[in-house]
Amino acid sequence: MNLRKTAIGAFAALSLILTAGQSLAAPAVEVLGGDFSFPNRIEGLPAKLSDFPALQINSFTTDDGVRLNYWEAGEGRPLIFIPGWAANGAEYINVMFLLSQHYHVYVLDQRNQGLSQNVEYGSRVSRLAMDVKELVNHLGIVNADYCGWSMGASVLWSYIDLFGTRGIRKVAFIDEAPSIYSHADWSEQERQDAGGTVSSPERMIEALRTGKMPSRLVADLNAFERFQLLDSPAFQNSEGFARAVIRNDAAAMSQVMFDHVTNDWRDVIRHRINVPTAIFTGEYSPYTQSQRWMASVIPNSTLHVYTREEQGDHFLMFKNPFKFTSDLRAFLER
């Protein structure tokens, strides 16, 4: 199907549903208003959206009145994914397809992202953590495995800071620095252990908004550069799908970025995580040393460092979904 026609059909269907005030609870093909053909045929992954009939898009309303959507598929033990900044469930299409054969998989579109509602309030990591708590309550889940990627890892650190690890069986974090902001009085070792790559949050946000890259002394936007490569057929499929069915509001999304960049989660990582933990990073990532530090201070943790040949960058989960889902399953079943 033509991408433009798919996008138009998706937005029209969503508009009708939301105007009617109905809760989204239907197969993804229905909610998005049509099928979608992925640009690359990959054995073991769907060739079109209708090849994944179990995928649903559902919604609930938070206690501060925000409609949040979540993608859902599969049966069995619950596995909850928290996406990173600007990310959404559409990008998890391949990961969900593979893992839903073994688990009941959920991916939350955070407020101001994906299909969830855009609002002018609550753009703090702590509020996003509360949204996760409300999702879990809405689903009636008592115990689950969790996986946070990029800013989604920070949301889980905030969740653990606020609520502890009760209800978390196992947790996985994918390539997120404990502190993106690099303090001027840090030693080089402390900067690397914390993962500090930004000296000016304001200039980083401006770069993300305009696409004009600053000096690496101001912000190392390695992830942005690796994203633009689209150097994996599976990644081309998931990004093509996301761009066809999701309309991002840059202004709404940017609200949370300053809070996200300036948080330092090292105390939570060192003292509050007491469940089995998997950490994923790669040789292309500027955060690799910080992920090694995390593995050294979290008891019962396992570190996965993907090579360059294994697409070991910030998007390793999407670029190499077969390896990632295999490694994650091995950790969850251990």
Each residue's pLDDT tens digit, 56-113: 999 999 999 999 999 999 999 999 999 999 999 999 999 999 999 999 999 999 999 9
Cα gap 191→289, rounded to integer Å: 9
Cα gap 134→117, rounded to integer Å: 15
CA-based torsion, 48, 316, 216, 208: positive or negative: positive
DSSP assignment, residue 37? Answer: B
Number of C-beta neighbours around residue 300 at 10 A? 10
Q: End-to-end CA distance of the chain, in Å?
A: 41
Number of C-beta neighbours around residue 5 at 10 A? 12
The confidence score (pLDDT) of residue 156 equals 99
- Per-residue pLDDT of 119-147, as tens digits, reads 999 999 999 999 999 999 999 999 999 99
Please report where in the chains the tokens 């769907």 appear, as a residue: 46
Q: With the CA atoms of 293, 297, 300 and 301 taken in that order, what torsion angle do they form, in degrees rounded to the nearest 10?
A: -20
The beta-strand segments (E) located in the chain are 25-27, 56-61, 67-73, 78-82, 104-108, 144-149, 168-174, 277-282, 301-306
The model's pTM: 0.92
How many whole angstroms from its chain centre is CA 190? 26
- Per-residue pLDDT of 231-276, as tens digits, reads 999 999 999 999 999 998 988 989 999 999 999 999 999 999 999 9
Nearest residue to 280 (alpha-carbon basis) of 309, 242, 307: 307
Indicate if the pLDDT at residue 333 is higher than 90: yes
| CA dist 265 → 108, 194, 270 (Å) | 22, 9, 9
Residues 288 and 231 sit within 8 Å (Cβ to Cβ):
no
The confidence score (pLDDT) of residue 25 equals 65
The confidence score (pLDDT) of residue 210 equals 80
Cα gap 179→192, rounded to integer Å: 10
The size of the chain, in residues, is 334
- Per-residue pLDDT of 177-217, as tens digits, reads 999 999 999 999 999 999 999 999 888 888 877 877 788 77
Banded pLDDT at 17 (limits 50, 70, 90): very low
Domain that holds residue 104: 3-333
- Per-residue pLDDT of 36-63, as tens digits, reads 999 999 999 999 999 999 999 999 999 9
Indicate if the pLDDT at residue 325 is higher than 60: yes
Domain CATH for 322 = 3.40.50.1820
* 118's tokens: 């855009």
| CA dist 85 → 115, 139, 253, 261 (Å) | 14, 23, 8, 11
The confidence score (pLDDT) of residue 23 equals 45
How many domains, the chain?
A: 1
Identity of the amino acid at 9 = G
The confidence score (pLDDT) of residue 40 equals 98
